[in-house]
Structure 1
Amino acid sequence: MSDDNLLQNIAGLRREYIRGGLRRKDLPDDPAVLFNHWIKQAVEAGLPDPTAMTVATVDPRGQPYQRIVLLKHFDGRGMVFFTNMGSRKAKHLESNSRISLHFPWHMLERQVMVLGEVEKLSTLEVVKYFHSRPRDSQIGAWASNQSSRISARGVLEGKFLEIKQKFQHGEIPLPSFWGGYRIKINTFEFWQGGVHRLHDRFIYQCNDDGWQIDRLAP
């Protein structure tokens, strides 16, 4: 099929969602229980990058930006990811701590959306994770001034080799510009595909009495 024909037929690309539904009676009171169950199933299903999530932030002009990062930890305190603290997303979060996450588990016909606010991780938490990474990933963190403009890939590769030579012996120190965030979650939305586009959507919103659960129209 030519590119022109493909573009003309995009509107007709669709499939039926048949894997099953999501019913209110089956929902746990705590959304963390359902999220843990779903991400466990995503891992067991062999999905590529099951912990990949779209992270949306907003710049001071109100322009939204999105990018994919990996979820590195989840517990009762929230969700954790790591990044260069000089990156574009970190600068956005410095002025607006609100964040949105999205987990697209297409093969399972599921999506999860998360809303919340970030707080910076402690140095101890960051150091512990940084030194658990593969050595080349640690060097990569030093080599990349994330979101800055570079003239060519060779500049990045040259910096990587320079840093690798510098730290060829001993432990690689934590860069002062590298850190992480914990998202304090106030909203979960779970989406399960359904036949005839009658998808199941449930939103959990945190209030003083716990989690309020509502069904949303698809």
Structure 2
Amino acid sequence: MTRHEALQRILARLTADDLALFTTGMISREAFNIRDRAENFYMLGSMGLLSSLGLGLALQQRSRTIWVIEGDGSALMSLGTFPLIASCRPSNFIHIVLDNEVYESTGGQPTISSTVDLAALAQAAGYAFVRRVADTTALDAVLGEALAAKTLVFILAKVTGRAPEGLGRVSLTPAEIKQRFTQALPPAATPIRNTAATPAGPR
């Protein structure tokens, strides 16, 4: 299964209410060219922060499904976020790692995902629904199961191949992506407030 094939199937599952976040590099570029929409957020130029952003959205937009689609390199940069996400238990959070075992955007240098079981890490962190897939048939089936489960989901999808020849870049600026995405968001139904006591300052 190529990354492009995986993204085609993932993007086909998105409903009008779903919010989808894509990591920097080829994943954002492929997603943009397959099915661009206002509810897609492309994290240009910043790797490793996507799952944190997705968690914040999941906690604020509880009536909408939040999809976080990143690569193995991005996931490996933010392993500390896995237990944080699991501890918050958002039932509207679908976390998908497309693992090709390389940093493709920077020249194909190998990552360490061939020796690190990201699915096992997600399981140990406390994700409720964890699956591994390596072909399109399995991915289609697992996506259906994940949507029906309505719980915290982690899918490790092993992918092969490089980006399609002549793949275009995201034609929006970061500011335009942010503005368009923000306009697609309704007011948060359940705002998060800091209930911790504020320490008294010096007198």
TM above 0.5: no
Structure 2 length normalisation: TM-score? 0.23
Give the strand-richer structure, 1 or 2.
1
Structure 1 length normalisation: TM-score? 0.22
Q: Which structure has the greater CA radius of gyration?
A: 1
